[in-house]
């Protein structure tokens, strides 16, 4: 792998709790080391850019694919990124967002969440064009687009994220084995 001057890095947040991003922030002072080696081109925690850019080197994707917006975005991410990393258990397994999957589709999920469990003013959220439609099921990213690297964990510990990024910065394939690197949960 030829090493570009600066790695064009993106982080993407789909159906997840943002915990993976928080874990990324747990890299603390190492982030200062990281900063000069990358160009953060898209990220909910480090950038205001709303459109996913072209020619991204590495995309860390947190979350499963649960809405029409998630689906559009992940397809765009796949087209425009060289290396797509499923970042955390929600991206790898659908995890907690996937808990809704055994319920029979979006209507059942909305009923359960907004009607049955409501304290007051029970009604479905309805804002066409603003609130994206739920997909039939929340799916792991790789069931919809090809994924190049899997970085499991809920969230992946900061050390695990660092090990992956360091390898990628060196132009190496991260060694994803052993409890330190691939334990779910």
Partner 1 sequence: MSVRTLRIDGRDVASGEGTTVLEAARDAGVAIPTLCHLEGLSPVAACRLCLVEIEGSNKLQPACITPVSEGMVVHTATPRLREIRRTVIELLFTEGNHVCAVCVANGHCELQDRAVDVGMDHARLPYRFPDRPVDLSHQRFGLDHNRCILCSRCVRVCDEVEGAHVWDMAWRGEHCRIIAGLDQPWGAVDACTDCGKCVMVCPTGALFHKGDSVAEKHEDPSRLAALLQARRARQEAP
Distance in angstroms (rounded) separating the CA atoms of residues 36 and 141 = 29
In terms of CB distance, is 124 or 184 closer to partner 1?
Answer: 184
DSSP 64: B
In terms of CB distance, is 8 or 21 closer to partner 1?
Answer: 21
CB of 162 to partner 1, least distance (A): 17
Question: In the complex, which residues of this chain contact partner 1 (CB under 8 A)?
Answer: 86, 89, 92-96, 98-99, 101-104, 137, 139-140, 142-143, 147, 150-152, 154, 176-179, 181-185
CB of 89 to partner 1, least distance (A): 6
In terms of CB distance, is 94 or 110 closer to partner 1?
Answer: 94
In terms of CB distance, is 108 or 131 closer to partner 1?
Answer: 108
Residues in CB range of 85: below 8 A, 6 or more apart: 58, 59, 60, 61, 147, 148, 149, 150, 151, 164
CB of 170 to partner 1, least distance (A): 20
In terms of CB distance, is 6 or 78 closer to partner 1?
Answer: 78
- Judge contact between 133 and 106, C-beta under 8 A: yes
Q: What's the CA angle centered on 36, arms 35 and 38, to 5 degrees?
A: 70
In terms of CB distance, is 63 or 140 closer to partner 1?
Answer: 140
CB of 110 to partner 1, least distance (A): 17
User: Kind and range of the H or E element at 38?
Assistant: strand 38-42
Distance in angstroms (rounded) separating the CA atoms of residues 87 and 91 = 6
CB of 166 to partner 1, least distance (A): 18
CB of 157 to partner 1, least distance (A): 12
Compute the CA torsion angle 135, 140, 141, 145 (nearest 10 deg): -80
Could you give the count of Cα atoms lying within 13 Å of 172 in the half-sphere of its Cβ? Answer: 9
């Amino acid at each position: 792998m030829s090493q570009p001057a600066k790695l064009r890095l993106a982080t993407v947040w789909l159906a997840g709790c943002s915990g993976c991003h928080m874990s990324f922030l747990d890299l603390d002072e190492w982030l200062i080391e990281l900063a000069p080696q990358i160009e953060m081109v898209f990220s909910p925690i480090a950038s205001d850019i709303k459109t996913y850019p072209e020619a991204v080197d590495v995309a860390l994707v947190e979350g499963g694919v649960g809405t029409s917006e998630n689906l559009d975005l992940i397809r765009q991410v796949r087209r425009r990124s060289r290396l797509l990393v499923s970042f955390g258990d929600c991206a790898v397994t659908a995890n907690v967002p996937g808990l809704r999957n055994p319920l029979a589709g979006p209507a059942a999920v909305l009923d359960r969440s907004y009607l049955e469990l409501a304290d007051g003013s029970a009604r479905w959220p309805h804002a066409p064009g603003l609130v994206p439609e739920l997909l039939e099921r929340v799916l792991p990213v790789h069931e919809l687009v090809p994924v190049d690297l899997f970085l499991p964990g809920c969230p992946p510990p900061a050390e695990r994220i660092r090990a992956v990024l360091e390898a990628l910065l060196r132009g190496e394939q991260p060694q994803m084995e052993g409890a330190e690197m691939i334990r779910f949960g």
